[in-house]
Amino acid sequence: MHQRPIGVFDSGLGGLTVLQALDDLLPDEDLLYVGDTARYPYGDKSPEELVHHAGQIAGFLVDAGAKMIVVACNSATAAALQPLQQQLDVPVVGVVAPGLRAAAAASRTHRTVVICTQVTAESRIYERTAEELRAGVEVRVLACPGFVQLVEEDRTVGPEAERLVADRLAPLLSARVDTLVLGCTHFPLLARTISKIVGRGVTLVSSADETAFEVKDLLERTGWLRSGTPPGRRVFHTTGDPERFRELGTRFLGYPLEDVRGLALAELVGRPVDPARTR
């Protein structure tokens, strides 16, 4: 088991922020990434659609040998973490609980705002998880439609991005918050613009590092840490255009993405946890 890769997925490039943290903490692990770029954004999909898409992708990753799945997407975590945990034989880790733990550690006022996609906000997963974990932070949630597109369309800086970010974050600017949870894995890629708008007094909290620590803990507990020749391999799949994914991903990660493969949606049909197959 320990020689197998860790499967990581998101609607597109956002999950690379989590992959980067895994890369830093677990350089010897093989990482297998899927960006569902053809069907992004996930944030405006229904929970049922996300259960379907996440099931297909997780099924693909398990078929490819993944020993663990990291749902590197808050929207898919909100809609599909539980069904995936119930249906899969391998551990499945989401990004919401790690994000809250990071916020609890960073906030001095114990009051935080989570910015996220529409489907994540509507799910109320942050409020519920904060209560379940007794995280010790009071959570307010703000949906920020359009931010994901700024990232996927490579428009993260400049006047247009600043206008949209200022507009969406306006309700926050008068509130006294010291931390802002980036409750969408795309948002760290927009951090420069978000910081410019909210000011340096507000700490931006991402779930990426905490998620990587959770994965490491789990691998240590199960004895599944990879012991092969370092460094681990990184293989990227996208349901969109591989060349574009390679170009933007290389810029975001800061090292060349050597192995980027196209993944046709047709290849995802009939995977073990595709509800279309079990219906």
Which listed residue (148, 184, 202, 273) is catalytic?
184
The span of 37-45, 191-199, 211-219, 271-279 binding ligand DGL (CB under 6 A) equals 37-45
Report how far residue 144's alpha carbon sits from residue 118's, in angstroms, rounded to the nearest whole number.
7
Report how far residue 277's alpha carbon sits from residue 209's, in angstroms, rounded to the nearest whole number.
35
Least Å from the CB of residue 275 to ligand DGL: 20
The answer to whether 204 and 114 are in contact (CB under 8 A) is no
Q: Which is nearer to ligand DGL, 177 or 208 (CB)?
A: 208
Q: Tokens standing for 31?
A: 């990482």
Report how far residue 29's alpha carbon sits from residue 114's, in angstroms, rounded to the nearest whole number.
30
Asked if residue 16 binds ligand DGL (CB under 6 A), the reply is no
Question: Of residues 107, 117, 129, 179, which one binds ligand DGL by CB under 6 A?
Answer: 117
Catalytic site includes residue 73: yes
Least Å from the CB of residue 17 to ligand DGL: 9
Asked if residue 239 binds ligand DGL (CB under 6 A), the reply is no
Asked if residue 274 binds ligand DGL (CB under 6 A), the reply is no
Using the CB atoms, write b or e for 170-192: b if 16+ within 10 Å.
eebeeeebebbbbbbbbbbbbee
Which listed residue (19, 61, 73, 88) is catalytic?
73
Q: Which is nearer to ligand DGL, 75 or 129 (CB)?
A: 75
Q: Considering only residues 131 through 160, tell me which ones interact with ligand DGL, judged by CB under 6 A.
A: 148
Strand 31-35 versus strand 6-10 pairing type: parallel
Q: Tokens standing for 260?
A: 């980027």
Least Å from the CB of residue 115 to ligand DGL: 11
Half-sphere exposure (Cβ direction) of 74: Cα atoms closer than 13 Å:
37
Using the CB atoms, write b or e for 37-62: b if 16+ within 10 Å.
bebbbbbebebeebbbbbbbbbbbbb
Report how far residue 137's alpha carbon sits from residue 97's, in angstroms, rounded to the nearest whole number.
12
Question: Of residues 7, 8, 10, 69, which one binds ligand DGL by CB under 6 A?
Answer: 10
Catalytic site includes residue 116: no
Asked if residue 94 binds ligand DGL (CB under 6 A), the reply is no
Site string for ligand DGL, 176-215 (x = CB under 6 A): --------xxx-----------------------------
Q: Which residues are catalytic?
A: 73, 184
What does the binding site for ligand DGL look like in residue numbers (CB under 6 A)? 10-11, 14, 40-43, 73-75, 117, 120, 148, 184-186
